[in-house]
Amino acid sequence: MSLAYVSTYLPQHCGIATYTNYLIRGIEKVAPNLRITIIAEREASGQKKSNLEVIPCWDRNEDYTEVIFTQVKNFDTVHIQHEYSIYKFDNRLLKLLERLKGQAKLVITIHCVRPAQFSERGAVDEKFAKKIAHSADVVIVHLESQKAILERLGISSEKINIIPHGTELSNEDKMKARKRLGLPQDGKVILSFGFVKPHKCLHVMLEALKEIVDNNINAYLFVAGSLAPNAGQGEKNYLEFAKRKIEEFNLQSRVIFPDKFFPNEDVPYILGASDLVLFPYYEEDRSASGSFHLSIGAKKPIIASRIPKFEELKNISDELLILPYNSSGIAKIALRLFQDQEFEDYVLKRIEKYRNKTSWVSVAKMHLELYEK
């Protein structure tokens, strides 16, 4: 099999680039003799080693159709990693798929499916997802909710394959990680990580922290992130609102907020230092969460909103899902995890099982089986 991926790739700062890198590393472990070529956007770094070649050659702001076609036309399997912000909504990707039809097995992973009722573009997102899914031979999604929308749009269920987002396994020592990051050696460290944005509901985490501390738990909220470089005024205003909440709740000594960007190499230590990770998000996109999988990969209990993005958490324990904005619900689950050893052990055993099931090696095997089939 000759296999080409069309994707963004490292060191480009892009979630899809990171995802593709993890997937290929998993495939290299399962099938070390398989030759893989990545037809990447120009921000990637070119490389060529024994069984992996990265060819940076296209740009999302140009007509990339001919450039990509020329590079992949001689491969028998072409796998495109799709995300709306990369390929936009014009006909360039559709033209590429049409030209490749019949020349290669076309696989496309649709990372996000956005229902019309929740898109600022109305039905545009749905219609585009339908067109690219129809043009591919095989479609991969990560969630049941994504598959359901594509089926409603008329895509055959036989064409749609649910393969979970992969999980990077990490096992950093808690005390060593805390020392490295300058975090308290005692107490419970509750983590929020990533860019600070209104839909991630930092204020809800603060409300939950106050209730936890009021129950005589020695706990801290570690906000490992900052505003995104392109943050708008609304996001800046939200951060100031959250800082006022910290003072209002008298949590200055309980909130650790370096207000800086942490590079990827720090993430295993950030997770290793923590006792609990919070995702009280409020959003309507149907897409899996890479941060969720990093957290379970570090064997950390998670509390998340009962929204499509975190529907996988039911595979560990449905009791860890809370309604949006339910700060008291977060506090009650956290208190039980901190005080009920039997419940915590149950959750940790389930996490261990699910992180192994969704490890990048396991996910790589699922991809290879699909390619062969």
How many Cβ atoms sit within 10 Å of the Cβ of residue 179?
Answer: 13
**Tokens at residue 256, please?**
């650790």
Q: In the predicted model, is pLDDT for residue 20 greater than 90?
A: yes
| Structural domains of the chain ordered from first start | 3-165+360-372 (3.40.50.2000), 174-357 (3.40.50.2000)
Report the SS3 class of residue 367: helix
Residue closest to 311 by CA, chosen among 113, 82, 85, 22 = 113
Q: In the predicted model, is pLDDT for residue 13 greater than 90?
A: no
The rounded Cα 345 to chain-centroid distance in angstroms is 26
Report the SS3 class of residue 5: strand
What one-letter code names the amino acid at 125?
D
Q: List pLDDT tens digits, range 83-122.
A: 999 999 999 999 999 999 988 999 999 999 999 999 889 8
Q: List pLDDT tens digits, range 324-370.
A: 999 999 999 999 999 999 999 999 999 999 999 999 999 999 999 99
Q: List pLDDT tens digits, range 181-235.
A: 999 999 999 999 999 999 999 999 999 999 999 999 999 999 999 998 889 999 9
The rounded Cα 356 to chain-centroid distance in angstroms is 17
**Tokens at residue 120, please?**
């600022």
Cis bond upstream, residue 308 (ω within 30)? no
CA distance linking residue 358 with residue 340, whole number of Å: 27
Q: Do residues 28 and 51 make contact, with C-beta atoms less than 8 angstroms apart?
A: yes
Q: In the predicted model, is pLDDT for residue 307 greater than 90?
A: yes
